[in-house]
Amino acid sequence: MDFALTAEQKEFQRTVREFAERELKPGASRRDETGEFPAAIVPKLAEMGLMGMVFPLEYGGGGRDFVSYAVAVEELARVDAAVTITILAHTLCAGHIFAFGSDEQKRMYLTPLARGEKLGAWALTEPGAGSDAAAIRTQAVADDGGWRLTGNKFFISNGSRADTLVVMAVTAPPGGKRGISAFIVPADVPGLTKGKNLDKLGFRASDTVALTFKEVPVPGANLIGEANRGFAQAMEILNGGRIGVAAMALGIGRACLEESIAYGKRREAFGHPIADFEAIRWMLADMATELDAARLLVHRAARLKDSGERFVREAAMAKLFASEAATRAALKAVQIHGGYGYTRAFPVERYLREAKLCEIGEGTSEVQRMVIAKELLKT
C-alpha cells in the first residue's frame, strides 16, 4: 500500500491548514473558555467546502476521497478540535443519508447538508445505551403511513444546533420482530425538545445535548432504507466515523508535539534549552513515533475505504491507537510545559482534555478492542 499523498491531496492539505490557521486558531482558546458554539465559523466551513468534502459533486459535496477527509480532519483538529467534531457529527448524519437514503432523500436532505447550508446531527446514543447501542429504547410506532418517535437521546453532538437529524429508534412493525430503524427527522418538528450543552471536560464549544422525543411525527418517506435495518446501517456509519475520530485524535496529538518542540527549544533551565535534556528528547521522540504510527493506521483504513474494501478492523485499530497515542502525547506535552502546561496560558491543557474524549466518543477504546478481537476470531 502506497502511503504517499498525491500532489492534489497535498495541495488540499495546505489549503485546509491555512484556513485553520486563519479562521479557527484566533478564537479556539476563547471558545473553549466560554463554551460558545462556533456558529459564525460554520458558514465559513461551508463556504470553504469543508462540510461535504466526501460527498459527490452532484449532491453539493466536494468529491474528495476519504484519505483527503482524514488529512483535512487532522489539520482542523490540530487547531480546533471542537469545530472539528462539529464536522464529524455532521458527516455521520450526511453520510448515513448518502449511504442508505433514497435518491429523493439525498436530493432533499443530503444536498443542503453537503453544501453546508444545513447542519446535521446523528442520534444513536441514549442515557442507558452507549457502548451497548442495540439496547436503545426510543420507539418508533407506525402511525397512519408514518411513524411517531418517543424516547430520549443523549450526548448528541450538534443536537440543539442541527437542522436535520438522523435518529435510530426501535421499530416493531405489527406482527413483525423487533428491530432498529433509522429516520430523517427535521429539527423543527413538534414534540422534539433539545437540552442545553452539557458541561464537559473538553470540547466545550461543541454542542453536546440531550434530545427528548415525545410522539414526534415522522413521515413514512423519512425512513432510511428498509425498516429494521437501522442498526446494521448505524454500525457501518460508525466504521467510517472511527476514521474521522482517529484523524481528529491525530490532529490533537500533533498539536501537542508541535507545541512541545517549540517550548522545548525556547524554555531554558540549568543554562540550557530544555530540549537539550535527554528526558525531554525521549518524550518528543516517543510522541513523534506514536503519532506517525497512528497516521499510518488512519491512512491505511481510509485507503481501504476508498478502494471499497472491508476496513472494520483497520478503522477500529486506527481509532484505538490514535486516540490513546493522542492522550499520551497530551500528558507528555503538559509535563514538558511544567507548571505553565497546567495553566490556560498554554494550549496543551486543552489538548489533554480534548484527547481524552477521543478514547470515549464513537466507541470507547474497550469497544474498539472488542471489534478488533471479533474480527480476528472470525473464521
Catalog residues that contact other proteins under the rule CB under 8 A.
Answer: 11-12, 15-16, 18-19, 22, 47-50, 53, 57, 62-64
Cβ of residue 59: shortest distance to other proteins, in angstroms? 13
CA atoms of 136 and 140, how far apart (whole Å): 11
Cβ of residue 271: shortest distance to other proteins, in angstroms? 19
Q: Which residue number, 56 or 179, has a Cβ lying nearer to other proteins?
A: 56
Q: Which residue number, 13 or 212, has a Cβ lying nearer to other proteins?
A: 13
Element (H, E) at 149: strand 146-157
CA atoms of 145 and 316, how far apart (whole Å): 39
CA atoms of 319 and 366, how far apart (whole Å): 11
Q: Which residue number, 44 or 369, has a Cβ lying nearer to other proteins?
A: 44
Cβ of residue 47: shortest distance to other proteins, in angstroms? 6
Nearest 5°: phi and psi at 348? Answer: -65, -30
Element (H, E) at 213: strand 208-218
DSSP category for residue 212: E
Closest CA to 154 of 183, 196, 118, 215: 196
Residue 78 and residue 25 in contact, taking contact as beta carbons nearer than 8 Å = no
Cβ of residue 368: shortest distance to other proteins, in angstroms? 31
Q: Which residue number, 56 or 225, has a Cβ lying nearer to other proteins?
A: 56
Nearest 5°: phi and psi at 8? Answer: -65, -40
Cβ of residue 203: shortest distance to other proteins, in angstroms? 25
Cβ of residue 113: shortest distance to other proteins, in angstroms? 15
Given the residues 36, 354, 362, 366, select the one marked as catalytic. Answer: 362
362 is a catalytic site residue: yes
Q: Which residue number, 64 or 319, has a Cβ lying nearer to other proteins?
A: 64
CA atoms of 13 and 18, how far apart (whole Å): 9
Residue 220 C-alpha cell reads as 413514512
The CA distances from residue 108 to 58, 77, 111, 291, in Å, are 13, 30, 7, 40
Q: Which residue number, 10 or 214, has a Cβ lying nearer to other proteins?
A: 10
Q: Which residues contact 37 (CB under 8 A, 6 or more apart)?
A: 161, 197, 205, 206, 207
For residue 355, how far is the Cα from the chain centroid? 12
Query: Active-site residue numbers?
Result: 362
